[in-house]
């Protein structure tokens, strides 16, 4: 029988497998108390501040650490979510917000503020496990406490051939009313099929 022409990777399975929802995946993975995560992250940030001293350097390292995590987490994400490679950036953003965040952080984000070209949007997090019980001291002006998260998103997207710029527009620890992460698509490298169709 004829296989319908796959829009994405030629390696999608013959029988269509429905993508799993964020809730379903989260319920199926090993989970731990969010507090352990929050406090471990807090201890890491404090140590980085002590060791690196400059807030800008800490921001940079948090982003780098996030990137390193993101390029690995994407594998777990793709394996567990059955999401075939998204070609459309709009779809990608929704998947990150509803499936990605949910299966790891246990919370979903909302996607808003699309630009006209559909290459830039905001992910809004109302609930953010990284920051429970956290208050930034006066001495940490300029710290983007959640910068690890922007790195994770950037790293994960790079692994699916989307080069992005991810920045915090709003940060509740800095007095704003929400966490707003702007994701801007810079370049998308279309996936290259390793085999020719007629071979």
- Residues 172, 49: Cα–Cα separation, whole Å: 20
Structure tokens at 93: 């953003």
Asked if 68 touches other proteins (CB under 8 A), the answer is yes
Q: Using alpha carbons only, what angle is made at residue 60 by residues 133 and 190, rounded to the nearest 5 degrees?
A: 110
Q: Which of 19, 21, 44, 169 binds other proteins (CB under 8 A)?
A: 44
Cα of 114 vs its chain's centroid, Å: 17
Collapsing DSSP states into helix, strand and coil, what is residue 171? coil
Q: Which stretch binds other proteins (CB under 8 A): 12-20, 103-111, 117-125, 181-189?
A: 103-111
Contact 106, 136 (CB under 8 A): no
Residue 38: how many CB atoms within 10 A of its CB?
17
User: How many binding residues for other proteins (CB under 8 A)?
Assistant: 34
Supply the minimum distance, in Å, between the C-beta of residue 44 and other proteins: 6
**Nearest to residue 34, comparing CAs of 134, 181, 156?**
134
Q: How far is the CB of 109 from other proteins (least distance, A)?
A: 14
Helices 34-52 and 55-81 cross at an angle (nearest 10°) of: 150
* Segment lying near other proteins (by CB under 8 A), choices 86-94, 101-109, 164-172, 188-196: 101-109
Q: Does residue 105 belong to the site contacting other proteins (CB under 8 A)?
A: yes
Q: Which of 6, 9, 16, 29 binds other proteins (CB under 8 A)?
A: 29
CB of 35 vs other proteins, minimal distance in Å: 6
CB 195 to other proteins: min, Å = 30
Of 63, 94, 73, the C-alpha closest to 156 is 73
Binding site for other proteins (CB under 8 A): 26, 29-37, 39-44, 46-47, 51-52, 61, 64-65, 68-69, 72-73, 76, 103-106, 129, 132
């Amino acid at each position: 029988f004829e296989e319908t022409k796959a829009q994405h990777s030629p390696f999608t399975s013959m029988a269509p497998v429905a993508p799993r929802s964020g809730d379903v995946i989260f319920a199926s993975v090993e989970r731990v108390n969010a507090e352990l995560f929050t406090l471990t992250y807090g201890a890491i940030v404090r140590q980085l501040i002590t060791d690196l001293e400059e807030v800008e350097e800490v921001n940079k390292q948090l982003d780098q650490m996030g990137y390193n995590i993101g390029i690995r987490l994407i594998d777990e994400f793709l394996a567990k979510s059955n999401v075939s490679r998204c070609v459309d950036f709009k779809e990608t953003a929704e998947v990150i917000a509803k499936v990605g965040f949910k299966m790891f952080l246990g919370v979903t984000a909302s996607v808003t503020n699309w630009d006209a070209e559909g290459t830039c949007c905001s992910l809004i997090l109302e609930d953010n496990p990284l920051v429970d019980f956290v208050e930034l001291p006066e001495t940490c002006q300029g710290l983007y406490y959640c910068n690890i998260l922007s790195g994770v998103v950037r790293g994960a997207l790079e692994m699916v051939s989307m080069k992005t710029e991810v920045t915090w527009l709003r940060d509740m620890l800095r007095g704003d009313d929400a966490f707003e992460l702007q994701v801007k698509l810079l370049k998308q490298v279309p996936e290259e099929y390793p085999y020719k169709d007629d071979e």
